[in-house]
Amino acid sequence: MRFRRGKRPSGVVGIDPSRVPPGQYVTDRFPVLHAGVVPDIDMETWDFKVMGLVATERSWTFDEIKAMPSTDHIADIHCVTKWSKLDTRWEGVRITDLMSGVTLNDEVSHVLVQAEHGYTANLPLGDFLRPENLLAWSFDGEPLELEHGWPLRLVVPHLYFWKSVKWVRSFRFLDHDVAGFWERNGYHMYGDPFREQRYWGS
């Protein structure tokens, strides 16, 4: 068999096929994909906010977030464009740790993740609060590159990677689901890679 450089199917060179969702190929690269241009980040004015249906809205500077307890996490990630990258290593603050100081209203069911340029993605609350999810500032032992979402990227490894929003700036808590940018443009509202929930109707 012949494969394009940087790609290999599951089941090759010791990869457990159960780790790779249907329709995906494994790559050693980290492709750069995003909507719009890479933003110009001004760290003098940058902050991160929690808003919506919360008892008290909160905001933090980047230094305040980095001062929170940090966690290293290794995860497989799966892009809707069909590449998977295994054993990626991230460092950041767990979402559950960030949210430990935030009181949600009882009716909260979903989160709208908001980023630079008005980009958004939606998540059910239970998926948002999984213990492996991070606000990450480091990838593979190095500071996160700007093109991969510096200064902070949400990492939600169990869903397609468009849900792991780059350049994230806030979480808005809601009592209903709201389609984000790609969801409004044909992508699945949930995005489970093992069920191939890529697009509307999947």
Render 89-126 in DSSP notation, one character per residue: EEEEEEHHHHGGG-PBPTT--EEEEEEGGG-EEEEEHH
165 occurs within a structural domain: yes
Tokens of 96: 């559950």
**Which pTM does this prediction carry?**
0.90
Asked if residue 170 lies in contact with residue 50, where contact means CB atoms within 8 angstroms, the answer is yes
191 occurs within a structural domain: yes
Q: CA torsion 7→189→129→79, rounded to 10°?
A: 10
28 occurs within a structural domain: no
153 occurs within a structural domain: yes
> Across the chain, where does the E strand assignment appear?
7-8, 25-27, 48-52, 58-60, 71-78, 83-94, 110-115, 120-124, 134-139, 142-143, 153-155, 168-174
pLDDT computed for residue 57 by the predictor: 97
**Number of structural domains in the chain:** 1
2 occurs within a structural domain: no
130 occurs within a structural domain: yes
Its domain, for residue 119, covers 45-72+89-195
Question: Of the candidates 97, 159, 90, 80, which has an alpha carbon nearest to the alpha carbon of residue 124?
Answer: 159
The residue length of the chain stands at 202
H-run or E-run covering 65: helix 62-66
Q: What is the pLDDT along the chain (202 residues), one digit of tens a residue?
A: 233 334 555 445 578 999 999 999 999 998 786 666 789 999 999 999 999 999 999 999 999 999 999 999 999 999 999 999 999 999 999 999 999 999 999 999 999 999 999 999 999 999 999 999 999 999 999 999 999 999 999 999 999 999 999 999 999 999 999 999 999 999 999 999 999 999 987 6
78 occurs within a structural domain: no
The CA distance from 55 to 57, in Å, is 7
H-run or E-run covering 63: helix 62-66
183 occurs within a structural domain: yes
pLDDT computed for residue 3 by the predictor: 31
Residue 118, CA atoms < 13 Å, CB-side half-sphere: 2
